[in-house]
Amino acid sequence: MTVQFDLTPYSKDFANQFDIRTEGFIDFFNLMSMGQGTMIKGQRADVTLAADMNHEAHEEISESNVRLYDVNIAELKFDATKVRVSYQDIQKWGQANAIDRKDRELMNALGHHIESRLVANLGDHAGTQITEVDYKSALAMAKAEVNTKPGFKGSQSIAFVNTMDYYRYLADSEVATAQNLFGMDYVKNFLGYSVIFFSSQVEKGTVFVTADGNLNLAHIPANGPAFSALELTPSDNKLIGVKHYLNDNTGDIFTKVHFGLEAFAERTDAVVQVTIDEGVAA
């Protein structure tokens, strides 16, 4: 038997905190609303201009070749998880504090999940792989590679590097103040990049680079029928739905979160993966 009483304020607070911590997503990700089970597709392009594009009157115009290829990134899954607060912890910490302690850790784990999926997708679908001898040359050549891709000449670039590598090889290059986006640290306008993210999810000695504006966050909108049926409180950005409830049989209060989130690069041919020489990156 589950006894219902009003824990809605906790759910509203969780959703509000989620909105605050993900507010900067729109600066780096294009939000894309999709249905459960949708195969998320990236794209790559091959473009070849006709060899001769000068024509005499009435002559048939030569044809250039533009081929667009879909790249299957991942299926958008409808995920859910929950954490429990025991009545012993409620007695020890007080109800509000006990719930908040677990909710903060759950929030951190959700950020880790989004970050992990993004890095995995960048690695699985990078259109170009190169090797360089150090981080500065890696960032320079990866940016050059992105700028050679069709449609990305002159574009600003975003990089993802390992956290330990960033502080070991890059942090003392210039003065830059780190900021945080839902657990991902980053610096802006640094070493010729609009943004450099540093993440423990990126392997040491590896750099991912893509064009600014090429990152998407696919999501199942949190105002759909299942969210309503389960009486979940949606975040304002409709990325998650949350509910707190009491299980009277165990005395536990649960925080349950439902979501469908997948971060990826839309044009996979504009993603460059750089491997740093082992002797430098070790």
| Within-domain flag for 235 | yes
**Residue 88, domain extent:** 8-49+62-281
Percentage with pLDDT > 70 across the chain: 94
Residues 32 and 217: their CA atoms lie apart, in Å, by 6
| Within-domain flag for 156 | yes
| Within-domain flag for 57 | no
**Six token digits for residue 276:** 């740093």
| Within-domain flag for 233 | yes
- H or E stretch covering 209: strand 206-211
The pLDDT mean for the chain works out to: 90
216-256 pLDDT, tens digit per residue, is 999 999 999 999 999 999 999 999 999 999 999 999 999 99
**Six token digits for residue 84:** 């429990």
Q: DSSP per residue over 6-28, as a string?
A: --HHHHHHHHHHHHHHTTTHHHH
Q: Are 272 and 140 in contact (CB under 8 A)?
A: no
For the whole model, what pTM was predicted? 0.86
Q: Specify the CATH number for the domain of residue 141.
A: 3.90.1690
Check pLDDT > 60 for residue 4.
Answer: no
What's the domain count of the chain?
1
| Within-domain flag for 253 | yes
Q: Are 260 and 254 in contact (CB under 8 A)?
A: no
Can you tell me the mean pLDDT for 81-104?
96
| Within-domain flag for 106 | yes
| Within-domain flag for 223 | yes
In angstroms, the Cα distances linking 140 to 109, 157, 194 are 33, 10, 13
Tell me, what's the pLDDT at 175?
56
Which range among 26-30, 43-47, 91-95 has the greatest average pLDDT?
91-95
Q: Are 208 and 272 in contact (CB under 8 A)?
A: yes
| Within-domain flag for 3 | no
124-152 pLDDT, tens digit per residue, is 999 999 999 888 899 999 999 999 887 88
Check pLDDT > 80 for residue 182.
Answer: yes
